[in-house]
Amino acid sequence: MMHKVINTLDKIIHFKTAQAHCDIPCKIYDPSTALLAALSCVRLMDLIKEVESKETTGVADYAQISRVVIEKESACTEVKEAVRIIWGDYFKAPQFEQIPNAHDLAHSVMLQASKCKQSIDRTEGEKLVELVNAFAEAFWLTKGVSTYRAPCPYPPMLDTVYPDLKA
């Protein structure tokens, strides 16, 4: 009903048509969201291990594990979403020429994030961080921005790629 009313009004008033082709505003791409989510995944795996290592566990511990697992799953999904948007919306022919393995790299991130959803093995989370770091380096290379690696200043304190914005 409402669609019909709007169409009728459009025929009379001639609304201007707005078109969008991206999930986010053009040129606003940054892999830091994926990196933070990957680091969160590892940190959440660590929290699960902390509860697991307790001598005794109670209902509160089970509730905490439940909440942490939900957050870990969400962080893995966030990694996939952030990489998918950059790969699907930002990467075009010039970027694929510059980064010939971009498809394989993005696909590897997706597979590893799925593996992390299925696991609580920290090693799998560290692999995810490393793949997202590689993706971030590739992204910044296409922007002509140099990068450096440094441990993130919070747990899990893993090496993380940062753009060198002072250069």
The predicted-structure confidence for 45-75, as pLDDT tens digits, reads as follows 999 999 999 999 999 999 999 999 999 999 9
Residue 52 lies in domain: 29-163
Positive or negative: CA dihedral 30, 41, 150, 91: negative
140, 147 in Cβ contact below 8 A?
yes
In a domain, 14, yes or no: no
In a domain, 11, yes or no: no
In a domain, 147, yes or no: yes
pLDDT of 9: 64
49, 43 in Cβ contact below 8 A?
no
pTM of the model: 0.85
Between the alpha carbon of residue 68 and those of residues 132, 147, 155, the distances in Å are 21, 32, 15
CATH number of domain containing 78: 1.20.120.400
Rounded distance between C-alpha atoms, residue 148 and residue 155, angstroms: 19
In a domain, 20, yes or no: no
Rounded distance between C-alpha atoms, residue 36 and residue 109, angstroms: 14
In a domain, 80, yes or no: yes
Q: Quickly state the pLDDT bin for 21 (edges 50, 70, 90).
A: low
Between the alpha carbon of residue 45 and those of residues 52, 101, 119, the distances in Å are 11, 29, 9
Q: Quickly state the pLDDT bin for 18 (edges 50, 70, 90).
A: low
- Give every CB contact of residue 1 below 8 A, 6+ residues apart in sequence: none
Count up the domains in the chain and report the number: 1
In a domain, 3, yes or no: no
